[in-house]
Structure 1
Amino acid sequence: MEFIIASYEQVDRMCEITDMAKRQLKNLGLDQWQKGYPSREVWMEDARTGCTYLAVEGDEILGIFAFQKEPDPSYAVIDGEWLTDGRYASMHRVCVSDACKGRGVAGKMFEHGFRLAREAGFPSVRIDTHPGNMPMQRALEKSGFVRCGEIVLAEGCEAGDKRIAFERILE
């Protein structure tokens, strides 16, 4: 498995994988990603800015994640406590193709995000997920993330929704 920066040519497949994730979340009875996020426009902007990475084998896209170096407005206030103060990287929009579930793709994507963060000099990586998204919470904890508390999304069509916040200190 290798990682490449997403381009416009891959947006259609990225949307297909996102739709798979949206169906899975809906089947779990969750409202996460059911309000139009992430959308084609989000993926197009990510392709423009070069912040989204694809896990690929040959021509097959296995998974997607966005890596961000700027502070996330949703992380400014937490009911709980972050593990670190100051600079951090964050990962968002993590999803894996249905055909690749159970193959460790998410864990490898997290590891690549940790590598990107280390290379950029960040001491930690933050991420959040829906309180009911137990599959993602298990994946996060398996990858060394620590539950830090609850945040409220500050922007977009999910603004006001609560999420569980996690952080992983890098060594």
Structure 2
Amino acid sequence: MQYTFRKAEIPDADSIWKLLQQAIIRRKNDGSNQWQDGYPNLNVVKNDIEKGYGFVLVEEETIIGYVAVMINNEPAYEAIEGKWLTNDDFVVIHRVAIDENYLGKGLAKKIMNYVEDFALQNKIYSIKADTNFDNFAMMKIFENLNYTLCGEVFFRGAPRKAYEKVLK
């Protein structure tokens, strides 16, 4: 399959929100507390797009994946219980979601690889991310992509596992 990874645009917001709604239901069905409190929502998606953080994975004309990507912009990461591998510039990943019709095809990993390329293009050699303690699917992706568990951060009042990958 041929995929495109690009910045999200305002007309993409409803399609992205549908992906996130699917992911919210999946998290709930997996017994996770992640994303069960009204976050993320359509306003978060629109804000991501307006600030240039939103990116989509597209197959032909269909949006099949989403991620928010920020540079040096996660205040919660300043107060880690543990230790980051680096203290230089970093890319932050939030809100990874894949269309339920495309699960099991390695597309979350593909998104993560595109984010690595984005970081390198911006001469940034660190990617930081966090996830809920009960998001086993995302933890497995981090593990498979050689992310290091660095400790805990508190995001929106709850502890989360904090990961970093140093790019060569």
Corresponding residue to 1:119 among 101, 118, 121: 121
- In structure 1, the partner of 2:66 is 64
Q: Distance in 2 between matches of 1:70 and 1:41?
A: 22
Q: Distance in 2 between matches of 1:49 and 1:152?
A: 23
What CA deviation, in whole Å up to 9, does each residue of 1:104-161 have, x standing for no partner?
Answer: 11011001111111111112000000001101100111122111111111xxxxx211
Q: Distance in 2 between matches of 1:52 and 1:14?
A: 9
| Mapped contact 2:57–2:66 kept (Cα < 8 A) | yes
Alignment of 1:114-153 (within 5 A): 114-153=116-155
Q: Which runs of 4+ in 1 moved over 6 A?
A: none
- In structure 1, the partner of 2:166 is 169
Q: Distance in 1 between matches of 2:14 and 2:74?
A: 26
Structure 2 counterpart SS, 1:31 = coil
| Mapped contact 2:68–2:93 kept (Cα < 8 A) | yes
Alignment of 1:12-161 (within 5 A): 12-153=14-155, 159-161=156-158
| Mapped contact 1:54–1:63 kept (Cα < 8 A) | yes
Unaligned runs of 5+ in 2: none
Task: Report how far residue 78 of structure 1 moved.
Answer: 1.3
Q: Distance in 2 between matches of 1:144 and 1:107?
A: 11
Q: Distance in 1 between matches of 2:59 and 2:31?
A: 31
Alignment length, in residue pairs?
166
Q: Distance in 1 between matches of 2:6 and 2:125?
A: 23
Unaligned runs of 5+ in 1: 154-158
Q: Distance in 2 between matches of 1:87 and 1:101?
A: 32
Aligned-residue CA RMSD in angstroms? 1.0
Letter in 1 for 2:166: I
Letter in 2 for 1:60: T
- In structure 2, the partner of 1:156 is none
Task: Report how far residue 95 of structure 1 moved.
Answer: 0.7
Q: Distance in 2 between matches of 1:123 and 1:58?
A: 30
Q: Distance in 1 between matches of 2:152 and 2:165?
A: 15
Larger mean Cα displacement after TM superposition, 17-26 or 69-78? 69-78
Q: TM-score, normalised by structure 1?
A: 0.93
| Mapped contact 1:14–1:64 kept (Cα < 8 A) | yes
Q: Distance in 2 between matches of 1:140 and 1:72?
A: 19
